Amino acid sequence: MISIAIDGPGGAGKSTLARRLAGELDFIYVDTGAMYRAIGLYALRAGVSTKDEEAVAALLPKIRLELRYVDGAQVILLNGEDVSSAIRAEEVSMAASNVGAHPPVRAFLLQTQRDMAKTSNVLMDGRDIGTAVLPDATLKIYLTAPAEVRAARRVAQLAEKGTVADFAGVLEDINRRDWQDMHRDIAPLRQAEDAVLVDTGDLNLEDSFLALRNLIRERTGV
């Protein structure tokens, strides 16, 4: 089986690029962030503080996550409910980052993520795929871009949906979440030693796609 790990901070284009690459390669795309988001959403709905490790851990036995693939797109079901849209809400981003800092939450998701790579060719994106989930991945990519560029892209993305966002506020949220993801004790976001660094700061989406497509061809032969 071939596994491609793509890690990096939020807003670097990971999910958009990974989804398209997986479609082209006919690999299963595993968006691990969606799993953390679903747990964050569950905790928010339960009225539990997402920073409270014990309280969040107590919820885990009540959570059943399923990933389905509809026309190649990942759909995530939380106790049978399709939450693919609900997990994209702004407040869920920080909730996901908060719950992702708790070891029981990471343990809860780790085996599922590993098992997916045993049975299919996968392109998996997240924060700790190359460092913790798939340390033997065929290819590891660390995808990043300067925080200001990621914030500007986010503002543009929101504008497309008709939402006016304040650049400074978006930048602050991005920096806060990056800092938290990079400084937690367990599986922090960092570039694996054997990961290829790709900075999309000066690349548009099409060029980023081509850069990754070429890299995958060179390194894996697919």
When asked if residue 3 is in the footprint of ligand DC (CB under 6 A), the reply is no
Tokens, residue 62: 């009540």
Residue 31: enclosing H or E segment and its boundaries?
strand 28-31
Phi-psi region at 11: left, alpha or beta (left = phi > 0; alpha = psi -120 to 50): left
Of the ranges 54-62, 72-80, 90-98, 205-213, which one interacts with ligand DC (CB under 6 A)?
A: 90-98
**Complex with ligand DC: residue 135 or 218, whichever CB lies closer:** 135
CB 32 within 8 A of CB 125: yes
In the complex, what is the shortest distance from the CB of residue 113 to ligand DC, in angstroms, rounded to a whole number? Answer: 8
Interactions with ligand DC, residue window 10-39 (CB under 6 A): 10, 32-33, 36-37
In the complex, what is the shortest distance from the CB of residue 88 to ligand DC, in angstroms, rounded to a whole number? Answer: 8
Query: Residue length, the chain?
Result: 222
Phi-psi region at 189: left, alpha or beta (left = phi > 0; alpha = psi -120 to 50): beta
In order of 8, 64, 183, 203, 204, the CA distances from 170 in angstroms are 18, 32, 20, 21, 20
When asked if residue 181 is in the footprint of ligand DC (CB under 6 A), the reply is yes
94: exposed, middle or buried (Cβ count in 10 Å: 0-12, 13-18, 19+): middle
Q: Which of 44, 100, 117, 123 binds ligand DC (CB under 6 A)?
A: 100
Report angle CA 129, 90, 11 to the nearest 5 degrees: 45
When asked if residue 142 is in the footprint of ligand DC (CB under 6 A), the reply is no
In the complex, what is the shortest distance from the CB of residue 25 to ligand DC, in angstroms, rounded to a whole number? Answer: 20
In the complex, what is the shortest distance from the CB of residue 193 to ligand DC, in angstroms, rounded to a whole number? Answer: 18
Exposure of 168 in the CB half-sphere (CA atoms within 13 A) = 0
Q: Judged by CB under 6 A, how many residues of this single chain contact ligand DC?
A: 15
**Complex with ligand DC: residue 41 or 128, whichever CB lies closer:** 128
**Complex with ligand DC: residue 128 or 149, whichever CB lies closer:** 128
When asked if residue 128 is in the footprint of ligand DC (CB under 6 A), the reply is yes
In the complex, what is the shortest distance from the CB of residue 180 to ligand DC, in angstroms, rounded to a whole number? Answer: 7
Residue 115: enclosing H or E segment and its boundaries?
helix 103-119
When asked if residue 173 is in the footprint of ligand DC (CB under 6 A), the reply is no
Beta bridge mates, 69: 74
**Complex with ligand DC: residue 103 or 201, whichever CB lies closer:** 103
Residue 190, SS3?
coil
Query: Which residues make up the interface to ligand DC (CB under 6 A)?
Result: 10, 32-33, 36-37, 93, 96-97, 100, 126-129, 177, 181
